[in-house]
């Protein structure tokens, strides 16, 4: 019985720690296994088409799911002779600011739509450097210009990057973040170079609903919701920042999260429960053997 009590206590403590660790592994707002970043509904410069309302990421099995919602359709919108749409999704596992990670080719990126005149095919890329395509899409030449124009309020890039300073601190090296100007804060929103390592699959509204996506829970459902998935083995594990801008830089969003390299806490907990049941069974067998002798 002493052995059983010790095992139960150890299991209980371990399960508690696993559950806490699982909760702390993600930032944003967790709901139905999705990690949400909810952006301001009034910081998209221009018409409602340029408003990003939210981004959500979910890891399930061997897949990573990403969803975006706002006023921008997947096909983009035409402004004069230029098509403006969603730019590339970047994933930064390096722990460094975005500018440094880009210079060191430490970024992962996903091109999920190809309508911004780029020769880079859709897919998942590693060893990525980033570039700005905002001015060629009738957009802002810098993040500072975007802010100087009165945008980025009241919540500039979502739940995890609520202030302008937090955005500067993430995207740029310290010397730039502490003294941002219109000449040193380019909006790096597209893949400049990288190695394609796999494909990306677009998801339907039914696919996203079945997976438990619910931007409506945060009153953040836009007129267009876009989703895609890719194999989790194509990217790194651990803590990351995911970010994305529109081609023109008129709005952007970022979120912090975690891709686990070990089984989900619930899975690990299940293994402990099975171990507990096995141990109790063995103890009962031992007691029956002792009583029969």
Query: Residue 14: phi, psi to the nearest 5?
Result: -65, -45
CA–CA dist 206, 223 (Å, integer)? 16
Q: For 212-244, what is each residue's pLDDT tens digit?
A: 999 999 999 999 999 999 999 999 999 999 999
Q: What is the largest CA-CA distance in the chain?
A: 92
Q: Which residues pair with 231 in a beta bridge?
A: 63
What's the pLDDT band for 187 if we cut at 50, 70, 90? very high
CA–CA dist 100, 130 (Å, integer)? 11
Distances (CA, A) of 75 to 68, 159, 164, 191, 224: 14, 26, 29, 18, 11
Q: Is a pLDDT exceeding 90 seen at residue 292?
A: no
Ranges of each domain in the chain: 25-272
Q: Is a pLDDT exceeding 80 seen at residue 17?
A: no
Q: Is a pLDDT exceeding 70 seen at residue 11?
A: no
User: Are residues 254 and 155 in contact, defined by beta-carbon separation less than 8 angstroms?
Assistant: no
Q: Is a pLDDT exceeding 50 seen at residue 152?
A: yes
Share of the chain above pLDDT 90, in %: 69
CA–CA dist 78, 194 (Å, integer)? 28
Give the β-pairing of 252-259 and 238-245: antiparallel
Q: Which residues pair with 239 in a beta bridge?
A: 258
Q: For 197-206, what is each residue's pLDDT tens digit?
A: 999 999 999 9
Q: pTM of the prediction?
A: 0.81
Share of the chain above pLDDT 70, in %: 80
What's the pLDDT band for 293 if we cut at 50, 70, 90? low
């Amino acid at each position: 019985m002493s052995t059983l009590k010790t095992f139960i206590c150890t299991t209980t403590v371990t399960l508690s720690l696993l559950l806490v660790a699982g909760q702390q592994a993600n930032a944003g707002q967790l709901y139905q296994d999705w990690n949400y970043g909810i952006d301001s509904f009034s910081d998209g410069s221009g018409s409602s088409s340029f408003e990003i309302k939210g981004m959500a990421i979910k890891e399930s099995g061997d897949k990573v799911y990403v969803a975006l919602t706002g006023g921008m359709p997947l096909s983009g919108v035409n402004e004069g002779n230029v098509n403006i749409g969603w730019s590339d999704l970047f994933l930064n596992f390096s722990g460094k600011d975005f500018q440094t990670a880009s210079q060191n080719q430490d970024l992962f990126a996903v091109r999920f739509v190809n309508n911004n005149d780029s020769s880079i095919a859709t897919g998942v890329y590693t060893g990525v450097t980033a570039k700005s395509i905002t001015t060629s899409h009738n957009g802002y030449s810098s993040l500072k210009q975007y802010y100087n124009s009165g945008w980025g309020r009241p919540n500039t890039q979502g739940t995890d990057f609520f202030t302008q300073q937090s955005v500067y601190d993430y995207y740029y090296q310290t010397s730039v973040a502490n003294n941002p100007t219109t000449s040193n804060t380019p909006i790096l929103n597209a893949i400049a170079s990288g190695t394609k390592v796999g494909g990306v699959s677009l998801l339907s509204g039914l696919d996203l609903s079945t997976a438990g996506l619910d931007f409506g829970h945060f009153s953040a459902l836009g007129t267009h919701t876009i989703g895609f998935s890719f194999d989790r083995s194509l990217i790194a594990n651990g803590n990351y920042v995911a970010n994305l801008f529109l081609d023109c830089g008129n709005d952007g969003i970022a979120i912090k999260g975690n891709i686990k390299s070990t089984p989900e806490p619930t899975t690990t907990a299940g293994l402990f429960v099975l171990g507990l049941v096995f141990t109790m069974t063995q103890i009962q067998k031992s007691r029956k053997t002792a009583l029969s002798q």
